[in-house]
Amino acid sequence: MGSPVKTVTYSRAYTLVPTYECFNRCTYCNFRVEPGRSPWLSLDQVAQLLPLLRQRGVCEVLVLSGEVAPGSPRRADWLHHIHQTCALALAAGLLPHTNAGPLSQTEMAQLREVNVSMGLMVEQVTPRLLDTVHRHAPSKRPEVRLNQLIQAGELGIPFTTGLLLGLGETEADWVESLGAIARIHHRYGHIQEVILQPHSPGQRQLQPGMALDEMDLARAVQLAQEWLPAEIAIQIPPNLVSRRGLLACLDAGARDLGGISPIDEVNPDYDHPTPESLEAAIAPSGWHLQPRLPVYHQYDSWLPESMQSLVQTWRTSLNHPPTYPNRVKSSQVH
């Protein structure tokens, strides 16, 4: 008998960016544009695109937005724009997942109505980074990030969070951040997955930085295995590692590769692989790539009833996957 097949999951995704403008100025960011200099993605554009995504087999619409400042007179319009984008995705039969930075509890409650899950990276809980890479990033204060996890738990929102590794923090900081996430999950039970994202230098960041060593990333996966509850999936971005690094992380305990979209908007210098190229990269080592939804099955009953039937339709389709046309953009694991 051969060895058992080992499974790693991913989501067929497409990223919509309502706006790149952001009032934070993180020194490593390759995403942001100065406030007022990024036109908002029009709802007409969204409505025209969504049916094409459905035809291509996309399941998840990741609504990833830069942050309009909480005190801005445009904040309410910005949130409404995101809400409408998600509503259009649902109407097209797709499953929205929003990450739009820290939100008030009222704002989170509004977006809960039109999202199957939501997310926000904790990044790191050490305040030391407020003197360096987050010096001009008000919403990156650790207490603000952790409060989002608490609010999501209070609202019953299936949630994704994660760590950004290689910003100048220590391994002890990783453990502290993982422990903080674990404690909040023990209270509410709502954390679906934790992303371990290595800093990967890009052309647009304000200050140069070194890429995190892949073996350090595998070490972070080991620590996450130790500190996080077993029901939380550990996710790594497959476009930010080599095949060797990817397999090392899988062997260390990573079991999810996140949303595979044509473009990684956060790390635009690093093309996403296709599911087909990923399968080819991991299959010789006994791994099998399996699609999933942006909401994990144990949270289906948490969703508003209006979404539960759509989610169930998608679950059924994953058990009988159709053949889809080629993706918009193809690349290989580097």
Domain-embedded: residue 316? no
Range of the domain at 135: 6-304
Tell me how many domains the chain contains: 1
**Is residue 334 very low, low, confident or very high in pLDDT (cuts 50, 70, 90)?**
very low
Domain-embedded: residue 103? yes
Residue 81: its pLDDT value, please? 98
pTM: 0.93
Higher pLDDT among residues 63 and 200, named by residue: 63
Alpha carbon 271 to its chain centroid, in Å, reads: 16
Residue 254: which of 214, 181, 297, 195 has the closest Cα?
195
309: its two tokens: 């039937």
* CA–CA distance, 334 with 331 (Å, rounded to integer): 9
Reported as a single tens digit per residue, the pLDDT across 56-75 is 999 999 999 999 999 999 99
Reported as a single tens digit per residue, the pLDDT across 297-311 is 999 999 999 899 999
Domain-embedded: residue 232? yes
Domain-embedded: residue 129? yes
Domain-embedded: residue 285? yes
Domain-embedded: residue 45? yes
| Residues in Cβ contact with 96 at an 8 Å cutoff, skipping those fewer than 6 apart | 60, 61, 63, 85, 86, 89, 90, 114, 115, 116, 294
Domain-embedded: residue 145? yes
Domain CATH for 34: 3.20.20.70
Reported as a single tens digit per residue, the pLDDT across 249-306 is 999 999 999 999 989 999 989 999 999 999 999 999 999 999 999 999 999 999 999 8
Domain-embedded: residue 161? yes
Asked if pLDDT for residue 224 goes beyond 60, the answer is yes
